Amino acid sequence: MSAVIEKAPVITLEEAARLIWREAELLDRHQYKPWLKLWTAGGLYIIPADVAAVDYAEVLNIAYDDGPMREMRVKRLLSGFSMSSAPPARTVRTLSRFVEGEAAGAQAIALRAAMIIVEYKYDRTRVLAADVDYRIVREAGELRIDRKVVTFINADDFLHGIGYLL
């Protein structure tokens, strides 16, 4: 008698988009602790300072957060003692133009998306645009973010007060 090995279903574009939209909702609602649970332990969150950067580990970045760094950033945001958290900016994120990247395997999907963030803080509204690259994996049946690279279209320009951006 041979054992039947069930394969986990391939991650679909629709599933991945739902995870990305959930992440945006959590961030816009300042639900940072649940947001942390969307990540793999070794996942990287990167905001490059150079729109042409490729090897993010070798260049200056606005953010290059692994798990412990994400947790410290969330702790700082929730403390109320940083410029970026007091008062917190009100944001609305819109993500669209999902395009699958190179095949990442049955348990992973690579995606590119367009993101628009509208921020309101100190009686001022600001619009930011970015290309976002994701690597999403399935762990123990759940989708998780394993890598997120947010490249603002003006990343090589002066970006003030964006420490709240996750």
pLDDT tens by residue, 1-53 = 556 556 668 899 999 999 999 999 999 999 999 999 999 999 999 999 888 88
Distance CA 47, CA 63 (A): 5
Cis peptide leading into 87, omega within 30 of 0? yes
Residue 7: CB atoms within 10 Å: 7
pLDDT digits (tens, 9 = 90+) for 45-102: 999 988 888 899 999 898 999 999 999 988 888 876 655 556 778 999 999 999 998 7
Token digits for 45?
Answer: 């969150």
Distance CA 16, CA 161 (A): 29
pLDDT band per the 50, 70, 90 thresholds, residue 161: low
pLDDT band per the 50, 70, 90 thresholds, residue 160: low
Categorise residue 10: left if φ over 0, alpha if ψ from -120 to 50, beta otherwise: beta
Give the pLDDT score at 101.
Answer: 86
pLDDT digits (tens, 9 = 90+) for 97-120: 999 987 666 689 999 999 999 999
Task: Name the DSSP letter for residue 85.
Answer: B
CATH number of 13-152: 3.10.450.50
Report the chain's C-alpha Rg in angstroms. Answer: 17
Strand partners, 8: none
Mark 75-96 as b/e (b = at least 16 C-beta within 10 Å). ebbeeeeeeebeeebebebebe
With 0-12 / 13-18 / 19 or more C-beta atoms within 10 angstroms meaning exposed / middle / buried, residue 17 is: middle
Distance CA 58, CA 3 (A): 46
